[in-house]
């Protein structure tokens, strides 16, 4: 039996201390664990020198080959983690993906908290196709056998996982990820034209950038002055000339200046417009909710776990037109009551679910069931 003080090994192929790695998820999970006074030992980043063995295959035959899922890489990751664990007294092993722990053999309970299962990504996200599905399924299955708990960040991902790995359904749970920033005070929101629409994403095409541009143009043509603030990516040259576009490019979270700039844009914007084509979760929705921004997005992938339709924003079907997006935004922005209700709802979602403290507490409750005084990690003999 152990006390409330846990010794946790956090394993990640990328640098868990980098605010940009995996959208900042490892950094903020580790910070939230340490905030609760748990000891976290980072086994990160993992060496990937064997990736060069696969370079010819990737170049000549399969450009979408996911090298990290190959057996030699998985064995290398497991060996690196195993050596590090021998030098710790860890109670738990936590990872942001099934990949590093797929071949890991250790006495500690293993948990991973991720945003998707491979089967959900086939022909949905770039780089995921059926040629790699068999190998990916074997890798995921191997990881699930070793895991005490498998946590996905959306109901959509968990539903697909339960369908393809039914024997592990009892291990699968859903915990939403959190916002990577929070305003020092909740801004007073009373939007007035010209309205400031925020497009926040690093992939112009996947996030529906062209739809956002056309929707903003329709707003202006209908007599509703609006500016589209594009943050995280560059606007394609063919569209960049439009006078209602406000380009900000990529803003790094690695610097205080970058984080402050992102905060300023969230505070001063009126609405998050993200007509995404494919989405596992979306930190942008958590960020918008933290700042009380109503959200207009697409009901696809894991979005509905983050945007409560009619309560914190409006979700449109994947085939919705720019005119439909413009119509929804006009309705929200023209009605103070509707805007205020959605703004309050967005902030409420952040305060109750879409923050890292809440997510990590739920993670620990799964890992250590029982009362605060007597709980111990699942499968632990400590």
For every one of its 382 residues, what pLDDT tens digit does the chain have, with 9 covering 90 and above? 334 789 999 999 999 999 999 999 999 999 999 999 999 999 999 998 876 666 665 665 566 677 888 899 999 999 999 999 998 899 999 999 999 999 999 999 999 999 999 999 999 998 888 888 999 999 999 999 999 999 999 999 999 999 999 999 999 999 999 999 888 788 788 899 999 999 999 999 999 999 999 999 999 999 999 999 999 999 999 998 999 999 999 999 999 999 999 999 999 999 999 999 999 998 999 999 999 999 999 999 999 999 999 999 999 999 999 999 999 999 999 999 999 999 999 999 999 999 999 999 999 999 887 644 335 666 654 4
Helices H, strands E: what count in the chain? Answer: 12, 12
Tell me what pLDDT residue 52 has: 62
Same-domain status, 219 and 93: no
In a domain, 206, yes or no: yes
In a domain, 79, yes or no: yes
Same-domain status, 150 and 16: yes
Tell me what pLDDT residue 186 has: 81
Tell me what pLDDT residue 53 has: 66
Q: How many domains does the chain have?
A: 2
What is the spatial distance between Cα 290 and Cα 181, in angstroms, rounded to a whole number? 8
What is the spatial distance between Cα 193 and Cα 76, in angstroms, rounded to a whole number? 56
Which domain, by its residues, includes 338? 195-352
Same-domain status, 48 and 104: yes
Q: Which residues contact 223 (CB under 8 A, 6 or more apart)?
A: none
In a domain, 187, yes or no: no
Residues in the chain, how many?
382
Same-domain status, 64 and 170: yes
pTM: 0.91
- What would the pLDDT profile of 285-294 be if each residue is shown by its tens digit? 999 999 999 9
Where are the alpha helices (H) located in the chain, listed in sequence order? 25-35, 55-60, 71-85, 118-121, 133-146, 155-164, 209-221, 256-268, 283-290, 322-334, 336-352, 356-367
Which CATH number is 312's domain given?
3.40.50.2000
- What would the pLDDT profile of 33-52 be if each residue is shown by its tens digit? 999 999 999 999 999 887 66
Q: Which residues of 196-230 are buried (b: 16+ CB within 10 A; e: fewer)?
A: bbbbbbeebebbbbbbbbbbbbbbbeeebebbbbb
What is the spatial distance between Cα 97 and Cα 152, in angstroms, rounded to a whole number? 10
Tell me what pLDDT residue 59 has: 63
Q: Rounded to the nearest 10 degrees, what angle do helices 356-367 and 25-35 cross at?
A: 70
- Among 161, 11, 129, 5, smallest CA distance to 62 is for 129
Tell me what pLDDT residue 370 has: 60
Tell me what pLDDT residue 4 has: 75
Same-domain status, 161 and 293: no
The dihedral region occupied by 282, where left means phi > 0, alpha psi between -120 and 50, and beta the remainder, is left
Tell me what pLDDT residue 382 has: 44
Residue pair 273/199 in contact by the 8 Å Cβ criterion: yes
What is the spatial distance between Cα 73 and Cα 193, in angstroms, rounded to a whole number? 54
What is the spatial distance between Cα 85 and Cα 9, in angstroms, rounded to a whole number? 8
Residue pair 104/34 in contact by the 8 Å Cβ criterion: no
Q: What share of the chain is helix, strand, coil (3-state, %, to 5)?
A: 40, 15, 45
The dihedral region occupied by 41, where left means phi > 0, alpha psi between -120 and 50, and beta the remainder, is beta
Same-domain status, 95 and 71: yes
């Amino acid at each position: 039996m152990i006390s409330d003080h846990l010794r946790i090994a956090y394993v990640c192929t990328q640098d868990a201390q980098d605010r940009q790695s995996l959208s900042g998820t490892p950094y903020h999970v580790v910070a939230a664990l340490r905030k609760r006074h748990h000891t976290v030992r980072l086994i990160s980043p993992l060496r990937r020198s064997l990736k060069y063995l696969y370079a010819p295959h990737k170049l000549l035959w399969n450009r979408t080959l996911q090298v990290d899922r190959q057996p030699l890489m998985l064995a290398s990751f497991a060996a690196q983690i195993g050596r590090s664990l021998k030098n710790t007294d860890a109670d738990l092993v936590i990872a942001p993906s099934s990949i590093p722990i797929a071949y890991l053999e250790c006495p500690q309970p293993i948990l991973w908290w991720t945003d998707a299962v491979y089967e959900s990504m086939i022909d949905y996200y770039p780089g995921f196709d059926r040629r790699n599905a068999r190998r990916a399924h074997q890798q995921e299955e191997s990881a699930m056998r070793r895991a005490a708990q498998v946590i996905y960040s959306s109901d959509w991902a968990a539903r697909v996982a339960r369908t393809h790995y039914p024997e592990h359904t009892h291990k699968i749970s859903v915990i939403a990820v959190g916002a990577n920033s929070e305003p020092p005070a909740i801004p007073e929101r009373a939007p007035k034209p010209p309205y400031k629409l925020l497009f926040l994403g690093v992939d112009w095409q996947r996030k529906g950038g062209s739809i956002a541009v056309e929707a903003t143009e329709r707003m202006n043509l209908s007599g509703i002055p609006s500016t589209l603030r594009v943050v995280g990516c560059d606007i394609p040259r063919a569209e960049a000339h439009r006078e209602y576009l406000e380009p900000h490019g990529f803003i790094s979270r690695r610097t205080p200046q970058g984080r402050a700039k992102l905060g300023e844009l969230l505070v001063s914007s009126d609405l998050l417009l993200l007509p995404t084509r494919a989405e596992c979760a979306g930190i942008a929705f958590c960020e918008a909710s933290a700042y009380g921004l109503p959200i207009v997005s697409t009901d696809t992938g894991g979005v509905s776990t983050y945007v409560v339709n009619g309560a914190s924003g409006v979700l449109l079907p994947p085939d919705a037109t720019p005119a439909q997006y413009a119509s929804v935004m006009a309705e929200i922005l023209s009605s103070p009551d509707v805007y205020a209700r959605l703004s309050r709802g967005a902030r409420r979602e952040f305060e109750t679910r879409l923050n890292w403290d809440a997510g990590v507490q739920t993670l620990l409750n799964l890992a250590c069931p029982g009362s605060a005084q007597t709980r111990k990690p699942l499968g632990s003999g400590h």
